[in-house]
Amino acid sequence: MREIVLDTETTGLDPYQGHRMVEIGCIELVNRIPSGNVFHRYFNPERSMPPEALAVHGLSDEFLKDKLFFAEAVDELIAFIGDAPLVAHNAAFDLGFLNAELERVGRPLIARERLVDTLLIARRKHPGGSNRLDDLCVRYAIDNSRRTKHGALLDAELLAEVYVELIGARQAQLILAQASMAGRVAGEPIIVRERVVPLIRAVTAQERAAHRAFIATLGDNAIWRDYVSLD
């Protein structure tokens, strides 16, 4: 399964009030593991940077003046994203700016149904707690010491780690890794296989019925009654 974790930096909060996207960072996950493929671009927003936005990400007019216009990188971005689900923190914000840029250059918009919003997942999993990206990094012991300012690629990298923790995939990966390492010869490549056809139940309905009938003969204090209902 392929997913794209993304983050954006902008000149402000509302793409329909003249604000533009100035940076996008995308991390490819394959089966919830970073593949090493990334997409990262800065964009010339064709407008000045407000001081309050500059204080957040530090991307100045001088730095951005020679960067690509969004229209020059849109084909590469669309190809990288493909049809994968898009994982973002407060995803509606990032999608709003991304779709505004796509609309500006006459490209199809991205459907909201493709979004996986880690902020909503975090709020369900940790109600009442702070679910900012920095706070989630602290909660899951993810090193965010490099995050002195917001940056789309770094934030996407951190979010990819947070996302795996939020959905419980980290523990599943550890269990699979431990299982695959058992009895492995040093230097031997790891081959992960998936069962194409599920196993058929080993116990038939008749065998289960016979087992329950046998347990019924053991008396009311039989320990099996703690695990099998005879009703």
Flag whether pLDDT at 114 surpasses 60.
yes
**Mean pLDDT computed over every residue of the chain:** 88
Query: Over the stretch 120-160, which tens digit does the pLDDT of each residue have?
Result: 999 999 998 899 999 999 999 999 898 888 999 999 999 99
Within 8 A by CB and 6+ apart from 121, the residues are 163, 166, 167
Judge whether residue 175 has pLDDT over 90.
no
For residue 96, give every residue at least 6 positions away whose Cβ sits within 8 Å of its Cβ, in sequence order, or none. 15
The reported pLDDT for the residue numbered 190 is: 57
What's the rounded mean pLDDT across residues 97-109? 98
For the question of whether the overall pTM of this predicted structure is more than 0.75, the answer is no
Reply yes or no on whether the pLDDT at 180 is more than 60: no
pLDDT number for residue 130: 92
Q: Report pLDDT for 218.
A: 79
- State the pLDDT at residue 212: 79
Which residues are designated catalytic? 150
The predicted pLDDT at position 183 comes to 54
pLDDT of residue 194: 63
Does residue 18 carry a pLDDT above 90? yes
pLDDT reported for residue 210: 83
Q: Are 215 and 230 in contact (CB under 8 A)?
A: yes
pLDDT at 193: 63
Gap between the Cα atoms of 5 and 88, Å rounded: 6
pLDDT at 211: 80
Does the domain made of 2-175 have the CATH classification 2.130.10.10? no
Q: How confident is the model at residue 101 (pLDDT cuts 50, 70, 90)?
A: very high
- Element holding 35 (H helix, E strand): strand 33-42
The C-alpha atoms of residue 96 and residue 19 are separated, in whole angstroms, by: 11
Cβ neighbors of 185 (< 8 A, separation 6 or more) are none
* The pLDDT of residue 46 is above 90: yes
Q: Could you tell me the two tokens for 104? A: 């500006």
Q: Is the pLDDT of residue 22 over 80?
A: yes
**Residue 27 near residue 155, CB atoms below 8 Å:** no
C-alpha–C-alpha distance, residues 156 and 7, integer Å: 5
The residues of the chain that CATH labels 3.30.420.10 are 2-175
The model's confidence at residue 231, banded by pLDDT at 50, 70 and 90, is: low
Pick 163 or 200 by higher pLDDT.
163
Question: pLDDT, tens digit, for every residue of 186-217?
Answer: 556 656 566 666 666 677 778 878 887 887 78
